[in-house]
């Protein structure tokens, strides 16, 4: 997959974006912006050694937003012809004429826009044929099934590639964009013993294919994780410490991000209202936002509004230092944008000194959670309840796998109750965090 496979060059997208903005201003808009993008991808999956699906996607689209004073209108199109873009502008203007005024509506302040966006090395196309992708997927699945004879079935292995580029332009003179890529290998297998089945999976993901783990390694880890879950037991209901394995711990960081994001804050639908400057986490927790990590999955030179991103502490020593705000949500709150239109960027939770085994020894007796089911976090109250699976731990050692349990608590107590953070940092996504030990939660079982 190469840049030449895009149907439009960067310059062509920029010319279309400028044209759309100029068209809006020419027809009476007081301000306007547009984002035009194009993406291509390929996914090849195999099951039991045979190719199951071959998928290609190639998409493009444009969104146009116009302002008539404090009235806002938006329209989108998947047709990037000049005629279609002009039609989208007309529709956006029509919508704006019939919408109510909103004092928070409008473009960012010009001085917040990115002036010299850095190149963050986010684009690494992968020229991978279907045959090569299938071979990697087959190798991955074979490695997984080869771990143990009790691994009798597979949900399949897949190899995917994706690349995209975009241009964002507005009537303040900003016009910039960049290309990005993301590739991955994944597999899930099923084990059976004594008539009971278990499944688990593993994956690798990166912007550069050279940074992916080997298919064989991904397969072995998936196989090992499935085998160790065989012969799972249920638990009686109890209260105990809980370790969230690193890939699961990223979800706790995600819960925090949602609670201090502008939309939930100005709608007053968050349990962390007015938390700026407040001790929300245990003092050992520090979270930094690092948008400029070269090649990072969560990296970006500017946000969806062209606002320059910032390196900053979001949480320091447990105290909330900042929210995640777009221009609109910031104005609703009487604050300034944080460069997070579109969401958070790379978040790094400062790790501790212990690895996962060390965390289990520190916990002594309790639950290691390796899988969560369902969406059980209430952003309004902080109540947390999720189906879970993992391992029962005694004297710092795993004793047996557990299944069909529910873990429950309140995120306020859970954040304050963080006892330790591991150095086994999960780095495959935009949230970099090690395993997290929470002092107590309710575990519901039999």
> Would residue 366 be called left, alpha or beta, if left means φ above 0 and alpha means ψ between -120 and 50 degrees?
left
Query: How high does pLDDT run on average in the chain?
Result: 96
Neighbouring C-beta atoms of residue 383, cutoff 10 Å: 15
pLDDT band at 69 (very low <50, low <70, confident <90, very high): very high
Question: So what's the pLDDT on residue 3?
Answer: 43
Taking only the tens place, the pLDDT of each residue in 15-61 is 999 999 999 999 999 999 999 999 999 999 999 999 999 999 999 99
Question: So what's the pLDDT on residue 247?
Answer: 97
> How much is the average pLDDT of 176-195?
96
Taking only the tens place, the pLDDT of each residue in 227-272 is 999 999 999 999 999 999 999 999 999 999 999 999 999 999 999 9
pLDDT band at 5 (very low <50, low <70, confident <90, very high): confident
Q: Six-digit token pair at 194?
A: 């004594």
Question: So what's the pLDDT on residue 107?
Answer: 98
Distances (CA, A) of 314 to 105, 257, 310, 350: 26, 10, 11, 12
Strand intervals (E) in 207-305: 238-244, 287-289
| List of residues 6+ apart from 242 with CB closer than 8 A | 366, 367, 368, 369, 407, 437, 438, 440, 441, 443
Distances (CA, A) of 303 to 69, 167, 323, 341: 23, 12, 15, 6
Cβ atoms 19, 85 nearer than 8 A? yes
> How much is the average pLDDT of 343-348?
97
Does residue 439 surpass a pLDDT of 60? yes
Question: So what's the pLDDT on residue 86?
Answer: 97
Q: Six-digit token pair at 173?
A: 């003179």
The structure's pTM equals 0.94
Q: What DSSP character marks residue 426? A: B
Cβ atoms 344, 323 nearer than 8 A? no
Rounded Cα gap, residues 232 and 234, in angstroms: 7
> Which residue ranges make up each domain of the chain?
3-227, 238-251+351-444
> How much is the average pLDDT of 376-398?
96
Question: So what's the pLDDT on residue 4?
Answer: 56
Q: Six-digit token pair at 88?
A: 């989208």
Instruction: Assign domain 3-227 to its CATH architecture.
Output: 2-Layer Sandwich (3.30)
């Amino acid at each position: 997959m190469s840049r030449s496979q895009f149907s439009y060059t960067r310059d062509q997208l920029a010319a279309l974006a400028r044209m759309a903005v100029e068209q809006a201003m020419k027809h009476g808009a007081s301000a306007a912006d547009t984002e035009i993008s194009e993406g291509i991808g390929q996914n090849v999956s195999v099951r039991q050694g045979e190719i199951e699906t071959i998928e290609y996607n190639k998409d493009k689209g444009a969104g146009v937003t116009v302002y008539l004073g404090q009235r806002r209108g938006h329209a989108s199109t998947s047709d990037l012809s000049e005629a279609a873009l002009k039609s989208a502008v007309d529709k956006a203007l029509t919508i704006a004429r019939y919408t109510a005024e909103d004092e928070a509506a409008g473009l960012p302040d010009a001085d917040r826009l990115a002036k010299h966006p850095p190149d963050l090395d986010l684009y690494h196309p992968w020229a991978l044929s279907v045959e090569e992708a299938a071979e990697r997927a087959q190798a991955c699945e074979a490695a997984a099934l080869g771990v143990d004879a009790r691994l009798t079935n597979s949900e399949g292995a897949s190899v995917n590639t994706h690349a995209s580029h975009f241009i964002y332009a507005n009537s303040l003179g900003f016009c910039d964009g960049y290309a990005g890529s993301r590739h991955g290998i994944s597999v899930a297998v099923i084990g059976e013993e004594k008539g009971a089945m278990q499944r688990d999976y593993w994956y690798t993901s990166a912007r550069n294919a050279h940074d992916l783990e080997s298919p064989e390694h991904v397969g072995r880890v998936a196989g090992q994780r499935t085998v160790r879950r065989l012969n799972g037991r249920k638990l009686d209901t109890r209260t105990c410490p809980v370790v969230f394995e690193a890939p699961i711990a990223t979800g706790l960081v995600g819960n925090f991000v949602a609670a201090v994001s502008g939309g939930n804050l100005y709608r007053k639908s968050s349990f962390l209202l007015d938390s700026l400057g407040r001790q929300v986490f245990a003092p050992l927790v520090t979270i930094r936002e690092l948008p400029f990590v070269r090649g990072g999955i969560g990296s970006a030179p500017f946000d969806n509004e062209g606002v320059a991103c910032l390196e900053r502490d979001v949480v320091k020593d447990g105290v909330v230092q900042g929210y995640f705000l777009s221009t609109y949500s910031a104005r609703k709150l009487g604050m300034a944008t944080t460069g997070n239109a579109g969401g958070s960027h790379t978040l790094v939770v400062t790790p501790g000194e212990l690895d996962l085994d060390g965390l289990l020894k520190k916990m002594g007796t309790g639950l290691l959670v390796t899988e969560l089911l369902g969406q059980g976090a209430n952003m309004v109250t902080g109540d947390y309840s999720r189906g879970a699976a993992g391992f029962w731990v005694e004297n710092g050692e795993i004793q047996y796998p557990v299944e069909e349990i529910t873990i429950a608590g309140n995120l306020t107590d859970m954040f304050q109750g963080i006892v330790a953070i591991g150095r086994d940092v999960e780095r495959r996504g935009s949230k970099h965090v090690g395993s997290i030990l929470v002092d107590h939660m309710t575990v519901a079982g039999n």
